[in-house]
Chains A and B, each alone.
Chain A
Amino acid sequence: MSQNVFAPWDDPNAKPLIRFQNVTKRFGEFVAIDDLTLDIFEQEFFALLGPSGCGKTTMMRMLAGFENISAGRIELSGQDIGKVPPNKRAVNMMFQSYALFPHLSVWENIAFGLKRDRKSKEQIDARVAEMLKLTRLEKFAHRKPHQISGGQRQRVALARSLAKAPKLLLLDEPLGALDKKLRQDTQFELMDIQEQTGTTFVIVTHDQEEAMTVASRVAVMDEGRIIQVATPSAIYEYPNSVYVADFIGDVNIIEGKAKPAGEELFHLEWAEGRAPVKAASQQPFSEGQTAHLAIRPEKIRISTEKPEEAVNLFEGKVLDIAYLGNLSTYHVELPSGQVIKAQTANTRRLARRDITWEDPVWISWSATAGVMLDR
């Protein structure tokens, strides 16, 4: 069963397509990329995720060849590409602004790169037709970019960057300019196209939902460093730091002092005079070490009556309710003043909801619901 899972990063013999080796990039005094090492494998859909200014765009521009590296080495299929100019790299980029040539038609935009390769007219015609079909743009081949919609422009940009069949396609915030509904549809389209063409995609985004949806692996970046690289589910369920836990999705962080309480079990002393939080962790913590328990709101149960048995059980008062339609997030204030978010699916109609503001409630979670983090 597990042999069909696509996970070359777990295979020690797999050769990466791209290899960043201790890459540093400085702009004057400012360090944009700080001694970064990373492997990206063939056919991956790799997402670089981080807040603006974290260096993700700089990394992409180094791959495209628009930025020189200050130190270190970048390899593409085992070859150092540090000195190769952008027009000589088997790498294409889809720009955030799409950068479609306004004076050329959709057809000519897609053919632009092919013509530079001095391909024959038949080859160009065939390849452009293939790209138009892939992106469902056949009807718009002779329109100019300003005569089509934003979503169509996005597809032209994708078709143009894929036309040369690059080893690596870079996508800089490819869906940033689309509205939410269209963006969701396009995410699946992108995944389909990536699968059909077998091209390695590297996507830069600040939208964590987008990264989680499309990517095979996600790299969370901050201040020029990669904090964690893992599959979307691993990033969500097993963040390696408070930063990642907080950046991806919603999370409750409970800070306290760890105290070993059995095999892979710890007590977290988090407030004077209150029962400790019990949490399981494979990572060892010494007595008195500061630890953060990161726990997702949907893993916390909320009820009006005291549950029979619960590993962690606290009483509190509903401070706020965020109604999201399918879900509701309850902000529960504990007597210590700490606010814990608990999320439940709205399986009942709103009118029949039994919890409302100022209600005393019980929140509970299991020992394995959260992750204990040392930073």
Chain B
Amino acid sequence: MRRAALIAVPYFWLLVLFLVPFIIVFKISLSDAALAIPPYTPTLRDGIAAMFAEFDFENFVFLTEDDLYWKAYLSSLRIALLSTFLTLLVGYPIAYGMARAPEEWRPTLMMLVILPFWTSFLIRVYAWMGILSNEGLLNQLLIWLGLIGEPLQMLNTNFAVYVGIVYTYLPFMILPIYAALDRMDGSLIEAAEDLGCSRLQAFWLVTIPLSRNGIIAGSFLVFIPALGEFVIPSLLGGSGTLMIGKVLWEEFFNNRDWPVASAVAVILLLILVIPIVLFQRNQQKQAEAEQ
């Protein structure tokens, strides 16, 4: 009885905060746009039978007809994949350094990684606008150093989007990798060297495989939110930056075409379900291996 109640809590949570909203969005995606409040038809006011009769997959078909959408999905996937990889490249050495740092420094280093969360995400992205703009700090520095004569166009490019994503999601990459490396027994590296490995070989053959779960967890934690990211591309990216989160926002608020926007959201969710399921599998395997 108590067990059932305990299990019911997360399921109830999932039902109210995920399944019900999803069903609502899905229902809207099957509707047609209309000049009304809410801006789609049919609604429950038309009666349940009539409502179901008028549902169709028109909006999903529309998404395949206009190449804007699949291009946006593809571009989002590319940006998310590349920025996940870049985050890994930046995050792994930081996590490695933290795990190798003297014991008494570690809490401080951990604090420094988490510290940016104490400020609003939006303010931090705005700060990057100040750094990357044509009159921004970075351009001024480069000109002052004499490296460039003209300011570089950095803001409103894909470059700025990558900077923004890597910066924002870096802690999500560092923390799981750090946790994996921290648990690792230092004598394993010595054993590898003792058995004939160079430092680099020992790193590839022992450290990387043993931090694999941390790498996978960190990558998913970055990839999943980066795929649907909306704030960073709209603030830092330019007109050339095509990301599905931005398209979604424009459909909702500029076009006021809720049904198409909902269809975009449903497809995005389906794309995300795949990595989420993979992520869950990985977590489960990890839990089993530790038993």
- A residues with a Cβ closer than 8 A to B are 64-66, 85-87, 91-93, 95-97, 99, 101-103, 112-113, 116-117, 146, 160-161, 164
Which residue of chain A has the shortest Cβ distance to B195 in the bound complex? A113
Which residue of chain A has the shortest Cβ distance to B187 in the bound complex? A99
> Can you report 14 residue pairs joining A to B where beta carbons are below 8 Å apart?
A64-B190, A64-B194, A65-B194, A86-B190, A87-B193, A87-B195, A92-B195, A93-B191, A95-B190, A99-B185, A101-B210, A116-B196, A146-B289, A164-B196
CA distance A103 to B290 in the complex (A): 11
CA distance A93 to B196 in the complex (A): 11
Please determine whether B209 and A103 come into contact, CB atoms closer than 8 angstroms: yes
Please determine whether A97 and B187 come into contact, CB atoms closer than 8 angstroms: yes
Q: Is the interface of B mostly helix, strand, loop or mixed?
A: helix
Which residue of chain B has the shortest Cβ distance to A102 in the bound complex? B210
CA distance A164 to B210 in the complex (A): 24
**Least Cβ distance of A199 to chain B in Å?**
15
Q: Which of A87, A103, A164 contacts B198 (CB 8 A)?
A: A87
- B residues with a Cβ closer than 8 A to A are 185, 187-188, 190-198, 201, 205-206, 209-210, 212, 289
Which residue of chain B has the shortest Cβ distance to A116 in the bound complex? B196
**Least Cβ distance of B204 to chain A in Å?**
12
User: Which 7 A-B pairs rank lowest in CB-CB distance, beginning with the nearest?
Assistant: A113-B195, A116-B196, A99-B191, A99-B187, A86-B193, A103-B209, A87-B196
Residues of B within 8 A of A146 (CB): 289
CA distance A102 to B289 in the complex (A): 10
Residues of B within 8 A of A95 (CB): 187, 190-191
CA distance A7 to B260 in the complex (A): 90
Please determine whether B194 and A116 come into contact, CB atoms closer than 8 angstroms: no
Which residue of chain A has the shortest Cβ distance to B210 in the bound complex? A103
Residues of A within 8 A of B192 (CB): 101, 112
CA distance A164 to B196 in the complex (A): 10
Residues of A within 8 A of B210 (CB): 101-103
Please determine whether B188 and A101 come into contact, CB atoms closer than 8 angstroms: yes
**Least Cβ distance of A59 to chain B in Å?**
16
Please determine whether A101 and B194 come into contact, CB atoms closer than 8 angstroms: no
Most buried by A among B191, B192, B205: B191
CA distance A346 to B144 in the complex (A): 93
Residues of B within 8 A of A112 (CB): 192, 195, 205
Instruction: For the A-B complex with A87-B198, A97-B185, A103-B209 known, give 5 more contacts whose Cβ atoms are closer than 8 Å.
Output: A92-B194, A99-B191, A102-B210, A103-B210, A117-B196
Q: Which of B193, B195, B201 contacts A164 (CB 8 A)?
A: B195
CA distance A93 to B198 in the complex (A): 16
